[in-house]
A and B are shown apart, each in its own frame.
Chain A
């Protein structure tokens, strides 16, 4: 594995190896040392959690980071091509971790430079490191990734996190229930991928229809920044709010996950329940990203 661009590029064996390494890092079974290695964190789109999570992962492994956020103070703004920016930065760093609002930007970056590239999100396309940390969280809480029922709720059209997650879960014979407003449904190419792998999936609009059936309830934010028209955003905002009262009769092993940040889609009163897992999920992101970085730098 030279880069991590899309879940489509990973085999089931690749996924299990990355998760196993994450577990060994978390439990202290292995110690990875990348002292002297430098990661360029190129975040052309705003991010707090993903950026901090990668920064933490690098530093916990003993590495260092160069951080660039936005394009305001870079030569990109002066008219430099994206490829020239990447080529220059690849002369300093050992690995590039990149977030971009442009779809396909990470794949292109990996073709331009000869150091590993990690896709930390490209537009509404992929967010593979989030998908891997989600898988790691599911495995930790359910003891397996196989034959689980997964409910995915919220903005399924623009939410790259859920695109990557559904593709990732399709290797594990999951049953996937998709709940969203009609015009925010999962894109056709993701559903095609599920069909090709023989995965059972359903689409609906009511959270109540699936909440008692699923092992994992994955809730996502309706993303304001993905709407061209603010009125369209206002129409669907708050459509899917999870409250503590809705958790009556759910499966004992249910875990509620969320890529964060949340706005109002999970009420605060859910936080104290045994089902809430979103903050632990964020912690798992560090172990998973440590595993990805260590693997791409050839240290495990």
Chain B
């Protein structure tokens, strides 16, 4: 079955064009299971991506930090704000050059894990690698952990 209906929402946010297989991770990152009403569609057909995931969240607006984190996990993602079943705003994910606070450095001996301070990474969008500004170690997106979004 290639077609599958993912329920419409009245008010909230649609995260579309998510790299197939990444929606559950994004849902975990946003802690949607804690209190949100949401639906996930996985491995849906997409003319642009071949396969894609989608998340629809009722009564929820993404903040900028969340959008940046999602962009790193799925650079193809788009964000649509819905009010009264109508689209009121739509934007595509933008990869940040500098990522502050959102990521935990995997290096346990990095100062960012030992002091009360914000982490900072630079992104090489060509290789999709992140470099910690402090310990200078480089990581792929899959090697880093995202901080809990507030």
Contacts and interface: CB of A to CB of B under 8 A. Distances in A.
Contact of A108 (B107, B134, B138): B134
Interface stretch (B45-53, B67-75, B77-85, B111-119): B111-119
Interface in B87-115: 107, 109-112, 114-115
A104 B110 contact: yes
Contacts of B136: 6, 8, 103-104, 125-126, 189
B42 interface: no
Given A101-B109, A123-B109, A107 B133 contact: yes
B133 A189 contact: no
B107 to A, nearest CB: 6
B137 A102 contact: no
A103 B115 contact: no
A79 to B, nearest CB: 13
Contacts, number: 54
A125 B127 CA distance: 22
A118 B94 CA distance: 36
Contacts of A122: 135
Nearest to B129: A192
A82 interface: yes
Interface string B131-144: 11111111000000
A103 B134 contact: yes
Contacts of A192: 127, 129, 138
A107 B115 contact: no
A252 interface: no
A91 interface: no
Contact of B135 (A82, A83, A123): A123
A81 interface: yes
B109 A102 contact: yes
A102 B116 CA distance: 14
Interface residues of A, number: 21
Interface in A162-213: 187-189, 192
Contact of A103 (B110, B117, B138): B110
Nearest to B112: A104
A106 to B, nearest CB: 9
Nearest to B116: A81
B115 A189 contact: no
Interface in A84-106: 101-105
Contacts of B111: 82, 102-105, 107-108
A188 to B, nearest CB: 7
A81 B115 contact: yes
Given A83-B115, A189-B138, A103 B133 contact: no
Contacts of A123: 109, 135
B99 to A, nearest CB: 15
Nearest to A187: B137
Residue of A83, A102, A104, A122 with highest tally of chain B CB at under 10 A: A104
B123 to A, nearest CB: 14
A54 to B, nearest CB: 21
A294 to B, nearest CB: 27
A61 to B, nearest CB: 30
25 contacts: A6-B136, A82-B111, A82-B115, A83-B115, A102-B109, A102-B110, A102-B111, A103-B109, A103-B110, A103-B137, A104-B110, A104-B111, A104-B112, A104-B134, A105-B111, A107-B134, A108-B115, A123-B109, A123-B135, A124-B109, A188-B138, A189-B137, A192-B127, A192-B129, A192-B138
Given A8-B136, A104-B134, A107-B133, 11 more contacts: A82-B114, A83-B115, A102-B114, A103-B137, A105-B111, A107-B134, A108-B117, A124-B109, A125-B135, A187-B137, A192-B138
Closest CB pairs A-B (n = 3) = A104-B134, A103-B135, A104-B111
